[in-house]
Amino acid sequence: MAVLLVQAGPALSDDDPTGSGRREPRLLGPAQIRQLAAELAVRPTKTLGQNFVHDANTVRRIVAESGVGPDDVVLEVGPGLGSLTLALLGAAGRVIAVEIDPTLAGRLPTTVAEYAPAQAESFEVITADAMSVRRADLPVAPTALVANLPYNVAVPVLLHLLGEFPSIATSLVMVQAEVADRLAAGPGGRVYGVPSVKARYYGTVKRAGAVGRNVFWPEPKVESGLVRVDRTHDQSDDPAVRAKVFAVIDAAFAQRRKTMRSALATWAGSPVEAERRLRAAGIDPGVRGERLGVDDFVRLASVD
């Protein structure tokens, strides 16, 4: 796993609208995105979920919705050519980016030095698959996650990072609109399911806006949405406890039209044992999983 540390480049004549002496980063537009892609001979791939944001107002809005400030260490996944990275550097105290594509990761330090020289020493990039990143791989513990997640692995990446880094207090991620709806859905909703409950294990989840297709290059075939997760620490950070809860959630929704007594029969060992555990947890055995909240699953997982 390679870590590239960015050194500050020569100062540019960026504006300093706050009068703080800290020059604001310049942001990338459509012309700069295409120029960088041509320079690197990058052709966005569907496999890696590469759709680069080229609209400055969109990345500004994402940063504003995230609420990050000078005290935050932001973990960004899939920075690509650096559009969101530059906007984050203008607000956060430090940004650690995780990029799976070595070509893109190798160019990011230069981009930051060119467009955000005053913030260059506050940036690191790690060349790695986000699903393999562990606490020991990061130089410091992140306090926030802000990312345009690859849509084909968005939910697994989000859940992995929330589980691996209890220090992440807030998360603001851009995902496919359909996935955003599932993550933010509440009990009883049509799209409420495994992602909804597991995300709520970590805290409150809500939709934070929509993003149009025209702000990406290449333009995706799906709509996008923003999802915010605010960690509450209501549930245990112990991986073993979390694994038990998640196993119950998976079993409950594997056949979502079945009652919990039937759906959990294999997990519990038999329908009779499933009913015993459900009643011990104060849950009606005849209810379906889509009617239960995360606290119900936590109680159920703790029953012996």
Per residue in 229-252, pLDDT (tens digit) is: 999 999 999 999 999 999 999 999
Mean pLDDT calculated for residue range 14-35: 73
Torsion over CA of 27, 96, 36 and 227, rounded to 10 degrees?
A: -70
What is the C-alpha to C-alpha distance for residues 94 and 6, in angstroms, rounded to an integer? 12
Mean pLDDT calculated for residue range 272-282: 98
Under 8 Å between Cβ of 163 and 239:
yes
Predicted local confidence at residue 218, as pLDDT: 78
pLDDT at residue 116 above 70? yes
**Cβ density class 70-80: b for 16+ within 10 Å, e for less:** eebbbbbbbbb
User: Which of 35-49, 139-153, 193-207 bottoms out in mean pLDDT, i.e. has the lowest?
Assistant: 35-49
Under 8 Å between Cβ of 52 and 213:
no
pLDDT at residue 148 above 80? yes
What is the C-alpha to C-alpha distance for residues 147 and 144, in angstroms, rounded to an integer? 10
What is the C-alpha to C-alpha distance for residues 173 and 147, in angstroms, rounded to an integer? 5
Peptide bond connecting 102 to the previous residue in cis, omega within 30 degrees of 0:
no
* pLDDT averaged over every residue in the chain: 91
**Percent residues over pLDDT 70 in the chain:** 90
Query: Could you give the 3-state DSSP secondary structure of residue 138?
Result: coil
The first and second tokens of residue 197, run together, are: 């409950």
Residues linked to residue 96 through DSSP beta bridges, in sequence order: 75, 124
Predicted local confidence at residue 50, as pLDDT: 62
Under 8 Å between Cβ of 49 and 37:
no
Predicted local confidence at residue 220, as pLDDT: 80
Comparing CA positions, the residue from 62, 105, 98, 56 lying closest to residue 224 is: 62
pLDDT in tens, 40-67: 998 765 555 568 899 999 999 999 999 9
Using alpha carbons, list the distances in angstroms from residue 192 to 114, 157, 186, 195, 285. Answer: 44, 19, 6, 8, 19
**More confidently predicted of 20 and 228:** 228
What is the C-alpha to C-alpha distance for residues 189 and 251, in angstroms, rounded to an integer? 18
C-beta neighbour count of 3 within 10 angstroms? 14
> pTM for the whole thing?
0.90
Query: Could you give the 3-state DSSP secondary structure of residue 257?
Result: coil
pLDDT at residue 31 above 80? yes
Predicted local confidence at residue 22, as pLDDT: 59
pLDDT in tens, 66-94: 999 999 999 999 999 999 999 999 999 99
> DSSP secondary-structure letter at 153?
G
